[in-house]
Amino acid sequence: MSDESIKVKQAAYEAKVEKVTAKNPERKNLPYNRLYSPLDLKNFDYEHKLGFPGDYPYTRGVQPTMYRGRFWTMRMYAGFSTAEESNKRYRYLIESGATGLSCAFDLPTQIGYDSDDAIAEGEVGKVGVAIDSLADMELLFSGIDLGKVSTSMTINAPAAVLLAMYIAVAEKQGVSLDQLKGTIQNDILKEYAARGTYIFPPKPSMRLITNIFAYCSKNVPNWNTISISGYHIREAGSTASQEIAFTIADGIAYVEAAIKAGLNVDDFAGRLSFFWNAHNNVLEEVAKFRASRRIWAKIMKERFGATKPKSMMLRFHTQTAGSMLTAQQPANNIVRVALQTAAAVLGGTQSLHTNSQDEALALPTEDSVRVALRTQQIVAYESGLADVVDPLGGSYFIEALTDKIEQEAMAYIEKIDELGGAVVAIEKGYIQREIQESAYKWQMEVESKQRIIVGVNKFQIEEKPVEGLLRVDASVGELQKQKLAELRAKRDNAAVKEKLAKLDAAAQNETTNLMPFILEAVKAYATLGEICGVLRKVFGEYEAHVSL
């Protein structure tokens, strides 16, 4: 069929449906065309944009077989209260069929303070597990073989310390470091832009990140040394295009910093990974995931001269959107998470965490966590979505939308390049302002009912208070203080002092890799707060940019 005949048929179609859609103004102003046809892909470059799964530019997936080979890693983000309590939850998840662990740490841990620090009061064990020392990490993974489980740790500013603790536990278990598999988030730039759990200024923070790249490339070769995270950028209110643009811009900054530090791109790029959000708009999310792979592949090949295929592959973990969960009618969140799971699978994720229905209200209970895990298992084994590689590839709409998101994201990346890169763009407040404006626009659409959120601004019901929510007892803070006092009383404090002094001296020499010194301090049972305190003294602390 010629282009002209398609145009005639499409015009006739548009005339036919115009009268019908005019009666429903709520559905008239959607951000997409009503229909997509071959005309929307007239100049589509199949070979350079699509190709086959496992082939550059990886639009259709990073492996040739994808889920026909094996399913994605089913992780469940968990951690609360003490290491002992979280260990019980981890064992429960493994027994329930989870194939990977994902560790949530409490706020004091995330910003490098011990549980007995005054600033930690009231926050110990609340949004994650409290980890003050190697002793806590030993309890956290008691009875769990680190040579067999893949572990992801959502930790950024003190990532080097938590990774050192994990390595030390593995050594105590007799696990060879080349057997360790997992990921540390270790993405500080998005903390400055969207999340806020930073400690040090950008320059020393980037040094710590590249130190980890170098150390793991030689000592822990199967560990993903960073999870460059768009998740929190999206949670802060960005659009899909902004999520991948700002995150990939951060990725560019990390690669540039590593190369500047003397690393060869093909020596570390294969262990970089990404972390995306899965929102409710299923098809937009699928297109976003596909566009992100294509953009990264081109950047690594054309901008950085990577030659190894793994250096060009954007491998990613996905978490369903916490910001899309509602406190109203929380059972509806099961449906939302199922849709988000479908988007992640159709988009080709390598691992996935599904949120629980009650997380808009409290930490998830065991029952709600099980339903969230079962959601992944049902999609894997019953839905058929995992039976074909890139099942939506070739769809007029999906390919057009993938192109559109790629173009929008590249425009942002080019703007950030013009500003001087991601670090400068963050320091100038550019990325923060863009996210804030998108978040404001979204909220205005919700309040004006241009955007319907079921149970929130439409289809409301009178609800009773939800019972059976999980609450963390305030006594957790006191228990952690007691454990710290006992640790300091029985450890070799002279050895701790010596290791911290060596770390202090090493931190003052910008060319020294700090990982070996942090590892030695951890093994002597220096606490997280003591180690970060040394680095705070040398590096200083970051002061947030204020947008006016």
Q: What confidence score (pLDDT) does residue 326 get?
A: 97
pLDDT on residue 548: 44
What are the residues whose beta carbons fall under 8 Å from the beta carbon of 104, sequence distance 6 or more? 77, 78, 79, 80, 127, 128, 129, 154
Q: Please state which CATH class domain 147-447 belongs to.
A: alpha beta
132, 528 in Cβ contact below 8 A? yes
The pLDDT tens digits of the residues spanning 450-490 come to: 999 999 999 999 998 888 877 777 789 999 999 999 999 99
The predicted pLDDT at position 257 comes to 94
Residue stretches of the chain with pLDDT short of 50: 548
What pLDDT, on a 0 to 100 scale, did the predictor assign at position 21? 67
Task: Specify the pLDDT at position 470.
Answer: 76
Q: Where are the alpha helices (DSSP H) in 96-201?
A: 107-110, 134-140, 159-173, 189-190
Q: What is the reported pLDDT for 81?
A: 86
Domain layout of the chain by residue ranges: 147-447
pLDDT of residue 323: 96
- Per the listing, tokens 């849709």 go with 339
Q: What is the pLDDT of residue 140?
A: 96
Spatial neighbors of 443 by CB under 8 A, at least 6 apart, are none
Q: How do strand 316-320 and strand 272-278 relate by DSSP bridges?
A: parallel
Q: Are 245 and 413 contacting, i.e. CB atoms less than 8 angstroms apart?
A: yes
Q: Taking a C-beta distance cutoff of 8 angstroms, is the pair 250, 422 a contact? A: yes
Closest CA to 103 of 66, 156, 56, 155: 155
